[in-house]
Amino acid sequence: MSTPLEDYALIGDTYTAALVSRSGSIDWLCLPRFDSSACFAALLGGPEHGHWTLAPKGDGWTVRRRYLPDSLVLETTYSCPEAEVRVLDCMPVRGDEPDLLRRVEGVRGRVLVRSELMPRFDYGKAMPWLRSEGRRLHAVAGPDHLTLDSDLEHDVSAEDHAEVDFSVGASDAVDFRLSWSLPEEEVTAAFDVGAAIEETAEWWRTWTDCCSYSGEYRDAVVRSLITLKALTYAPTGGMVAAPTTSLPEQLGGVRNWDYRYCWIRDATFTLLALLAAGYDEEAKEWREWLLRAVAGRPEQMQIMYGVDGQRRLPELELGWLPGYEGSRPVRIGNDAAQQYQLDVYGELMDALHQARAHGIPPNPDAWRLQRRLMDFLEGHWQDPDNGIWEVRGPQRHFTHSKIMAWAAADRAVKAVEDFGLDGPAEKWKRLRQEIFDEVCKRGYDPDRNTFTQYYGSQSLDAALLMIPNVGFLPATDDRVRGTVAAVEKELLQDGFVQRYTMTAATQHIDGLPSGEGAFLPCTFWLADNYILQGNVDKGRALFERMLDLRNDVGLLSEEYDPHTGRLVGNFPQALSHIPLIDTAFNLTTRRGPAQRRAETGEQQRRGI
């Protein structure tokens, strides 16, 4: 039985991240960066696929967890009537090499603790050689070298793992430092773990001091911002969708994808969340990553890239891993990188527009890129595509994709009219109107009073909740209200929103068996619609239900299964934490991200 996702906490160093369970086991860690192979992969199999457990021996322990205030330093406290001990876990913001620090501190009584280190490189496949040098332990296989320095000498007689039992009393502290390096490199030995943990906590506190949000949901907003920062690859500014791969959207299912990459689609959401919270420098770095990643001809633009902008993300299946709760296949890489998704052009155009509107210093390449994107869109916006949900069925004329093509034309016009940039505004106005008219004619079902998933379909799509957010139509428009009502009637699962109509009859759309949890970002988008419609109390009630889905340390996955009450999908998910931030601002400020983005859209529309 796999550990529930709710039982995991995140630690990271802005290059990579690890998941730590309530039982003290690190079950997922890729080194030296997010998209490297895992040295601990128990998350997708069992303990034999790699883990590092550091916890009291025996049963009956009460477990409490928290992050040290405004930080990514995890504190796990184990207690029983006779004794108490706590474990501090963190990854210092990257220095000379990747480090993972663990400290065991006695609080009261005396506690017997075990450290069991079982590294498995290449996603649980390669068992390394273990070599002990007193209190220093080496694990080497192929291009990977882990070095464990601790206050104790581990026993390596079992060959496949290293272990040590020890006891701590009140005020005792035992330190561990795990480092990664190339086999030919030697990790420096002298290291003050306690000081490094405090420095790490202070680094995060200093970073969170920049947060401009001071409303009633500050704790949730700050935790989400820290999570987003932890998912950012510091050398480039790119943000991965999640630090994990193949966590299923349905337990036991096949919708298991690798999310350790950067999606263009997340660009505007990310940018607005960072800008709203006062993180202009992070927003600028994200914009710079976008510009570098999409350099080249517009027709070559991908929907996702690697953390440093690499384009080749070949999808492979790892047959030796049984998957999370038997959910197979386990995949690395993502073939969706080669799909044509029209909406990303609109997202990129909007992100660059929002950066300009918020006063981020101009980049001379940005407008030149936007002009080239518009040249491409003029000739290709009528092409079918794979859509926002990266369906692996036939390409179609997805309504949301066309709306984002409209957004691209609208932002191009705004660049000329609002910022004086050089471009054929009149031609783009005509294009904007042409797209608008077609969407309202072919993507709207007047009999049901709702926009549909694709032209001529009966299916619904929760992505259409973004219509007012991008300014295509106001939230109070009857067609938008009808779409919201249709989503409420047909896509809600226990009050949470499913991405799109998913039945056996619609399997041909995405080419996969039906079935998944409710999609958490879509539920935040529904709350935003309520707010934009003026029904703030209804939006607040839904938002607070969403907050209740977070685990004990404030993290959300991609989806939620209301039938089992479980978080599902890759974890933690950036696209769940981004709209959490946005909706909190929408509820507590006069002009939150949704209002600002909606106001960007054209105000005078023909036919409204």
Report cis status (omega within 30 of 0) of the bond before 329: yes
- Among residues 205, 225, 252, the one where a domain terminates is 205
- pTM score, two decimals? 0.96
Q: What pLDDT score does 608 carry?
A: 32
pLDDT band of 602, cuts 50, 70, 90? low
Question: Quick check: is 25 in a domain?
Answer: no
Candidate ranges 182-186, 261-265, 533-537; pick with highest mean pLDDT:
533-537
Token pair 């603790």 is found at: 113
Looking at the fold, whether 245 and 201 belong to one and the same domain comes out as: no
Task: Enter the tokens of residue 64.
Answer: 């409490």
Report cis status (omega within 30 of 0) of the bond before 81: no
Question: Quick check: is 245 in a domain?
Answer: yes
Task: Enter the tokens of residue 134.
Answer: 């007193």
pLDDT tops 80 at residue 514: no
Other residues' Cβ atoms within 10 Å of the Cβ of residue 178 = 27
Looking at the fold, whether 272 and 151 belong to one and the same domain comes out as: no
Identify the sign of the CA torsion 345, 346, 352, 355: negative
Question: Quick check: is 40 in a domain?
Answer: no
The closest of 133, 32, 4 to 91, measured between CA atoms, is 32
Summarize the confidence of residues 219-233 as an average pLDDT. 97
CATH of the domain at 255: 1.50.10.10
CB burial string 579-591: b at 16+ within 10 A, e below: bbbbbbbbbbbee
Counted domains in the chain:
2
359 Ramachandran zone, left/alpha/beta (phi>0; psi -120 to 50): left
pLDDT tens, position by position, 243-302: 999 999 999 999 999 999 999 988 888 988 999 999 999 999 999 998 888 888 888 889
Identify the sign of the CA torsion 319, 324, 328, 331: negative
Looking at the fold, whether 163 and 273 belong to one and the same domain comes out as: no
Question: Quick check: is 24 in a domain?
Answer: no
Looking at the fold, whether 510 and 563 belong to one and the same domain comes out as: yes
Looking at the fold, whether 480 and 391 belong to one and the same domain comes out as: yes
Beta partners for residue 176, in sequence order? 102, 150
Percent residues over pLDDT 70 in the chain: 99
Q: What pLDDT score does 417 carry?
A: 96
pLDDT tens, position by position, 457-485: 999 999 999 999 999 999 999 999 999 99
Looking at the fold, whether 267 and 161 belong to one and the same domain comes out as: no
Summarize the confidence of residues 443-453 as an average pLDDT. 98
Question: Quick check: is 445 in a domain?
Answer: yes
pLDDT band of 607, cuts 50, 70, 90? very low
pLDDT tops 80 at residue 92: yes
- Among residues 160, 185, 205, the one where a domain terminates is 205
Euclidean distance between CA atoms 195 and 230, whole angstroms: 21
Q: Comparing 503 with 573, which gets the higher pLDDT?
A: 573
Length of the chain: 608
pLDDT band of 155, cuts 50, 70, 90? very high
pLDDT tens, position by position, 186-220: 888 788 999 999 999 999 999 999 999 999 999 99
- Structural domain for 538, as ranges: 236-599
Euclidean distance between CA atoms 346 and 374, whole angstroms: 10
Q: What pLDDT score does 521 carry?
A: 97
Q: What pLDDT score does 365 carry?
A: 87
Summarize the confidence of residues 507-532 as an average pLDDT. 89
Looking at the fold, whether 267 and 197 belong to one and the same domain comes out as: no
DSSP 466-495: GHHHHTSS-TTSHHHHHHHHHHHHHTEETT
Looking at the fold, whether 190 and 329 belong to one and the same domain comes out as: no
Identify the sign of the CA torsion 350, 304, 561, 493: positive
Q: What pLDDT score does 267 carry?
A: 82
The closest of 214, 223, 43 to 124, measured between CA atoms, is 43
Which of 49-58, 78-87, 583-592 is predicted least confidently? Answer: 583-592
Question: Quick check: is 605 in a domain?
Answer: no
- By three-state DSSP, how is residue 191 classified? coil
Percent residues over pLDDT 90 in the chain: 86
Looking at the fold, whether 113 and 241 belong to one and the same domain comes out as: no
**Cβ pair 566, 6 in contact under 8 A:** yes
Task: Enter the tokens of residue 330.
Answer: 């386990």
Summarize the confidence of residues 95-122 as an average pLDDT. 96
Summarize the confidence of residues 304-333 as an average pLDDT. 96
pLDDT tops 60 at residue 98: yes
Backbone angles phi, psi at 136, to 5 degrees: -110, 130
pLDDT tens, position by position, 345-404: 999 999 999 999 999 988 888 999 999 999 999 999 999 999 999 988 899 999 999 999
pLDDT tops 50 at residue 492: yes
pLDDT band of 606, cuts 50, 70, 90? very low
Euclidean distance between CA atoms 569 and 563, whole angstroms: 15
Backbone angles phi, psi at 149, to 5 degrees: -105, 130
pLDDT tops 80 at residue 510: no
Summarize the confidence of residues 60-76 as an average pLDDT. 97
Task: Enter the tokens of residue 281.
Answer: 């420098």
Looking at the fold, whether 242 and 96 belong to one and the same domain comes out as: no
DSSP 353-386: HHHHHTTPPP-HHHHHHHHHHHHHHHHHTTS-B-
- By three-state DSSP, how is residue 222 classified? helix
pLDDT tops 80 at residue 559: yes
Q: Comparing 535 with 510, which gets the higher pLDDT?
A: 535
Looking at the fold, whether 197 and 282 belong to one and the same domain comes out as: no
Inter-axis angle of helices 343-357 and 280-293, to 10 degrees? 140
Looking at the fold, whether 196 and 152 belong to one and the same domain comes out as: yes
The closest of 552, 435, 533 to 483, measured between CA atoms, is 533
**Cβ pair 170, 117 in contact under 8 A:** no
Question: Quick check: is 422 in a domain?
Answer: yes
- By three-state DSSP, how is residue 294 classified? coil
- Please give the mean pLDDT across all residues of the chain: 94
CATH of the domain at 169: 2.70.98.50
Identify the sign of the CA torsion 281, 283, 289, 295: negative
pLDDT tops 50 at residue 307: yes
Beta partners for residue 63, in sequence order? 78
Question: Quick check: is 317 in a domain?
Answer: yes
